[in-house]
Every structure is written in structure tokens, then in C-alpha cells.
Structure 1
Amino acid sequence: MMMTRREFQVGLLGLLGTALAPRVVGAQMLVEGRDWRPLSPPQPSAEPERIEVLEFFSYGCSHCSQMNPLITEWAEALPSDILFRRVPVTFGRGAWVALARLFYALEFGGHLAQLDQAVFDAVTRQRMNLYTERNILKWIAEQGLDADAFAKVYNGFAVEMALRKAADLERRMGIDAVPRIVVDGRYVVTGDGAAGHAGLIRIAEQLVEKARVQRG
């Protein structure tokens, strides 16, 4: 259900060597240590007045790809007091930095909704090597976008700053596997024994309610 640093490395080496989920329903009593763990020390939200939900992921993670349609649908229906953000992880490796840079370039360029799942599919299903700028720009052109214009965003200041902030979040929140959901800078969804990706989101929903109650 999750991909660790080690599994991510093995999967990436395999890729380089070769060139929808059910709706979330129901609830259960959460158990600390099984379903979630506290984040110590708690981390501030980008918007302190809202409950922040962070999804740490990578385009190179097949589990993230499988969960993406479900969590996207879930996020679109969240109430206004919830801030949902996606954070691409790199684990400090250059190939994964390229994927994270691709995510932010799509987001800032206004193409994320159009190509988000397509990137997942290209990397995890079609086994495409999107770990270099050259290959990424070639793929972008094949999707009908202006590769030169995209390159300016890809190498731009906004993407560079977003990468730095993402790396800082990854470090401060101790992210060691993906997909990983963190609620309100205080609760990390572990989901040991959770019923698939829907189960992880169900736990996140309950932690949102826990955070809302504690905030009063």
C-alpha cells in the first residue's frame, strides 16, 4: 500500500533498465500506532486558520498512482476549512527531483488537471523514463504543449522555490514512504492494516475531525 525509500529505489532502477478505487465510506475507531502516529514536534500550516492536509507522493510510485483518482475526488469535496496540498517527494535523488519539478511545472503552467494522471501512467504503467529534462520536454511536446514555453516554467524561479519548500516539508515531517498523508501538522496516517487506499483516506477523514474538535 505504501512505497518505502528502499522500494522506491529498486523500482526506479527497474524502470531505468527498461527504458478506480471505491468511494470512501464508513468509519472505525482509530488506534494510535496502527492507524496514525503523532508528529513531534507539530508543524505549522501554510494557513494557520485552516486544517491542512498534505499528501506526500511521487509520480514514480505505483501506489500513489492508484490512489490519485480517489484522493483527487475526495479533495475536491472538502469543506472550506480544510486546505489540501500535494507535496512531491524526492528522497534526495536527482531522478525524483525531475519528477517533482515536472509536477510543479504542470501546476504553475496550468496543465496539472489535464496531465496529472497521464504522468503517473507514463511512469508506472508505460515504464517511460521521465527522469531527465530532455525526456520530459519530449513527452510534453507529444501531449500537444509548447515544450519551449514549458521549459521556461520547468526551470523557473517559482518551481525552484517550490522544490525547496517541498524538500523542507519532507524533512520536517519525517517522510519515509509514499503515499503519506499528514493532517494538521500533527497526525501522520500510517494505516497499518487499512483496507486499501480508501482506508487511508478514511483514516485521514477521521483525523481531520479530530483536529477540528481539538481546535474547538
Structure 2
Amino acid sequence: MIRLVWLLTLLLFSMVVQAGYDEGIEYRKLAVPLITPAPGKIEVLEFFWYGCPHCYRFEPELHAWLKNRPSNVVFVRVPATFNPRWAFHAKVYYTARVLGVEDKMTPVIFEAMHVKKQKLATLEEVKALFEANGVAAADFDKAFGSFAVDASLRRATDLTRRSGIDGVPALIINGKYMTTGTMAGGNKGMLRVADYLIKKESARGQ
């Protein structure tokens, strides 16, 4: 009897959760799906900008979610490139990635912009920040001007355009669905919607 009550409670909870997320409200389907490069995996893209306060506040929640994400989920950050300033910071992100210091420099850059109120609007400012965190100036210059960084920047610009996002942070799940904090009622809501869509795609065998 207790087991039956527990199963019914679980079923009702599942129905409530599923009923709570509606296409066109908490998430929307992309008009043209993005190609996901990970067969058998569910790809989650996070579009962000270092200068975005919402993205900065999203970081702790995102990192907590990443620690417990399903094993079939591949997470990829994509710096949005809506204008030249955003594109410059996107190039900074990819420079850190090429140098192998993405995980170290991302929180440093967020803190510099949102806590220390540095604009990081020039190459000299950014290079000085990297140097202060152990990156040689010559290594920074080589990475910043590299083909790999430029190619990544072009792809980020293409994804920003094709995704149809109009703000950040935004999540794209498996190249098909987009959700934002505005749509989902906050950053935690956005992650709950992402979990729902991941389960939906996993159930389809994607």
C-alpha cells in the first residue's frame, strides 16, 4: 500500500512538472535546428557575454548544475557576438581556451568586470589581466592572433545568428530548443527547463 501511494505521488509529480513547461512559454523550438556535432549525446550550448550581469550571477548555479549533469550531456559555451564589443570579448574567451586557461580565466574576467568594474575594452587591458594571472605576453599575442581563435570566433558569430537568441544567458538544448531566464522565470528555472528538455530528447533516443 505504501509503495502504491509512493508510485502514485511520483507519477503525479512527474505530470505536474511536465505540464509546467510549455513550448512557446518556458522554451521555444528553433525554426531551423542547429547541427549538433556529438552523435548519441545531448548538446547544451550556453550563450553568454562576460559583461552581462545576469551571466555573472548565473555562474554559480551553472557550475552546480554541471557537476550533476547526465553523462550523455555535452556542455559547450558560446560567447555571443551581437556587436563589436561582444565580439572582442568572445575573442578573449577563445584566446583563453587556446591557451588552456579557460577555466582559470573565465571567473577572473567575470570578477574583473563585475566586482572590480573594469571594462576590459582594450587589448592592453586584457593582456595585462592575463599576464597578472601567469600568461606570458608573447603567448597571449600568439594565441589572440591565431587561426584557431579566428575560426572559433567565426563559428560563434554564425551560431549567434542562426540560434535566433536576442539576449544572454540563453541555453540551446540539442540544437532544437531555446530557453532563457526571462522565459523560464529565472536562472534556476532555465536549468529546470533544460533538464526537462534533456529528458525529453533522451527518451527519444537522441
TM-score (norm 2): 0.85
Name the larger-Rg structure: 2
How many residue pairs are counted as aligned between the two chains?
190
> Which residue of the partner structure matches residue 179 of structure 1?
169
Query: What's the counterpart of residue 144 of structure 1?
Result: 134
Instruction: Give runs of aligned pairs for residues 9-158 of structure 1, distance below 5 A.
Output: 28=17, 29-91=20-82, 93-158=83-148
Q: CA deviation at 1:110?
A: 1.2
1:13 matched residue in structure 2: none
Deviation beyond 3 Å, 4+ runs, structure 1: 190-195
Amino acid of the residue matched to residue 186 of structure 1?
K
Tell me which protein shows more helix as a share of its residues. Answer: 2
Encode CA deviations 1:23-47: one digit per residue, 9 max, x unaligned: xxx9832122221011112221021
TM-score by length of 1: 0.81
Q: Percent identity?
A: 35
Q: Is the 8 A contact 1:182 1:189 kept in 2?
A: yes
Report the equivalent of 2:11: none
Stretches of structure 2 lacking an aligned partner (at least 5 in a row): 1-13
Q: For residues 80-113 of structure 1, what are the alpha-carbon distances to aligned partners after superposition, in whole Å with 9 as ceiling and x for unaligned?
A: 321110000110x222112111111111211111
